[in-house]
Structure 1
């Protein structure tokens, strides 16, 4: 009985390693960054929508973190789609329409920079942050609609 259980555990561990994305690959790097961006963005949006308590310092720090994160994933999209990676949600258009993809990446960076600028007005009012945060969310959505396979 113990040998069977041990065999199943070893098999499960071996299979869990198959088909995964190498965290050091370009795909693994960008997926990790996008997950971080999503987490921070959800927290910021949650503060503005009342799902989370609005905490001024946490919002300011989160906006700055999101701004820094938005500048990183684009370098992990090589000029040609990498082969042999795990499942990617990026459409082939990312590599076929690089100019448009870069345009949307720059729009995202601009929207997070504007959000950071909006956090400089003191005292910070949640209502004043709704529009800049919406522009961040809209820039995410625009890129997803064109370049992400759902």
Structure 2
């Protein structure tokens, strides 16, 4: 939803955007839990790189940055109520966090 608003393919809808943000906030809390130390063995079907565990401090920092940017996006959405430049900047920061982590820690 948020990506489509940024692309201009769907109109901005504050309630729908808020719902999407809330879902991503919830899921962001599960990211670190999804990669506990014991899971560093991996499974044949995993797309997680071993770097998650060998560079855990960086992975955890990326998750924290992602969560902080989500809070900022939520605050902007609460105050702006449209696809303003502030909204686009905040949403793009979240998107860049996703990309950075996937580029670094996900097997392509």
Normalization by structure 1: what TM-score? Answer: 0.65
Contact 1:67–1:116 (8 Å) recurs in 2: no
Max radius of gyration: which structure? Answer: 1
Partner of 2:83: 126
RMSD: 1.5
What's the CA shift for 1:86?
A: 4.3
Partner of 2:60: 102
Partner of 1:91: 49
**Count of residue pairs the alignment pairs up:** 106
What's the CA shift for 1:73?
A: 2.0
Contact 2:31–2:63 (8 Å) recurs in 1: no
Partner of 1:49: 7
Write the distance in 2 (CA, Å) between the matches of 1:130 and 1:99: 29
Write the distance in 1 (CA, Å) between the matches of 2:74 and 2:54: 32
Partner of 1:137: 95
Runs of 4+ in 1 over 3 A off after TM superposition: none
Partner of 2:32: 74
Structure with a larger share of its residues in helix: 2
